[in-house]
Amino acid sequence: MREKTILDYETVELDTKTDELVIIDQTVLPGKTEIIRLKTAQEIWDAIYLLKVRGAPAIGVAAASGIYILAKQIAESMAASGKEDFDTFYRQFLEQKEYLNSARPTAVNLSWALNRMDRLVQSMSDRGISDIIDALKKEAIMIKEEDIKVCKAIGEYGLSLVKPGDGILTHCNAGQLATCKYGTATAPIYLGQERGYHFRVFADETRPLLQGARLTAYELHSAGVDVTLICDNMSATVMKNGWVNAVFVGCDRVAANGDTANKIGTSVVATVAKRYHVPVYICAPTSTIDMDTKTGADIQIEQRPAEEVTEMWYQERMAPEGIKVFNPAFDVTDHDLIAGIVTEYGIAREPYTESFREIFKRKEEMKNGRTKSND
Ligand code: MRU
């Protein structure tokens, strides 16, 4: 029998029997596989803030399940005190939504998922609270199921951009651990693996939180992919050597002009890739494209604690006490460094704003087509 690997665990799951959020604690990977169960607002917020669950799509899925769990608790405490009115419910729902939304600012999937759940509640203001809770549960499950389909579709489009035997460089973790299956940037790699493409993958270790070393290298290696771990300052070397045919990375928010926020260091990789004529592809579900954000300059960049740089992962503190630290979690890759943005509805190219409009039109048409055929 095949040995169980990290890819056999669910990154994020709603336990529908106990109404708990079940996640792999990614802060202790790859040394330990710990599955944790979360029930309170504080536990869910902490798990997102501390990157126990991380990666834009997985954060969105966790937030959707999280707000359902909290909404159910609100409904239960209202029922216990004999209340049933929508306004009281909705006021508390919004408080919890805002609280969860404050956990991480850059990944737009967090607010995207919470807003989707909110719109559902608003559309049911004339219905009983228990109907609303049932609908929220279904929606949270649907958001997870959609994520799997979306990643697979991104994988198919991404695979059309490379050929068997190619070298692919990736930064941070936009893998299965950042989604519910396949990942975004890793989806072409996993699909290629199934079809005998034999890619050679280079995973940047990704300072300071080492998502590349701890997560990407781990999950790709567990899947039997040919993966080589490199330090962040080695991308120019592997590209100059001619070992990289394409860069695939994920993203946390894409602005309307195609500027893209992703893990700190992505824009360095993209700048180096331009020097060596290696195309950079951003793998982005349409839920990560934020047409309300005009350019990268409008994207809020999360700042993280100094300790992540000065002492985390070291046996003892490595930096001088009292040193000033700048620790932005993300950077913005300018759209002119990007060869294409791979979505589940096709590949967007310059000029991005127009290309995104086409993609959203296609999404709408396909959704309407599906609704019609379901009628
Ligand atoms: O801080 P993290 O680990 O949540 O950052 C993750 C990334 O930057 C990913 O590339 C991005 O969220 C896309 S995940 C499919």
204 is a catalytic site residue: no
Give the C-alpha separation, 71 to 66, whole Å. 9
Residue 371 reports pLDDT greater than 80: no
> Is the distance from the beta carbon of residue 329 to the nearest atom of ligand 1 less than 6 Å?
yes
Reported confidence tier of residue 26, pLDDT bands at 50, 70, 90: very high
pLDDT, tens digit, for every residue of 130-164?
A: 999 999 999 999 999 999 999 999 999 999 999 99
* Å from CA of 239 to ligand 1 middle: 23
Structure tokens at 261: 């926020």
pLDDT, tens digit, for every residue of 92-131?
A: 999 999 999 999 999 999 999 999 999 999 999 999 999 9
> Is the distance from the beta carbon of residue 57 to the nearest atom of ligand 1 less than 6 Å?
yes
Residue 84 identity (one-letter amino acid): E
Structure tokens at 4: 């169980």
Structure tokens at 170: 């990736």
Reported confidence tier of residue 27, pLDDT bands at 50, 70, 90: very high
Reported confidence tier of residue 373, pLDDT bands at 50, 70, 90: low
- Where is 200: in which H helix or E strand? strand 200-204
User: Ligand 1, residues 211, 269, 287, 344: which to mutate, most atoms within 8 A of Cβ?
Assistant: 211
Residue-level pLDDT at 370? 76
Active-site residue among 232, 252, 259, 331?
252
| Longest alpha-carbon distance in the chain | 70
> Is the distance from the beta carbon of residue 56 to the nearest atom of ligand 1 less than 6 Å?
yes
Residue 375 reports pLDDT greater than 60: no
Structure tokens at 86: 């929508």
pLDDT, tens digit, for every residue of 269-288?
A: 999 999 999 999 999 999 99
Residue-level pLDDT at 92? 98
pLDDT, tens digit, for every residue of 283-338?
A: 999 999 999 999 999 999 999 999 999 999 999 999 999 999 999 999 999 999 99
Reported confidence tier of residue 374, pLDDT bands at 50, 70, 90: low
pLDDT, tens digit, for every residue of 227-265?
A: 999 999 999 999 999 999 999 999 999 999 999 999 999
How many Å from the N-terminal Cα to the C-terminal Cα in the chain? 44
10 Å CB burial of residue 268 (0-12, 13-18, 19+) is: middle
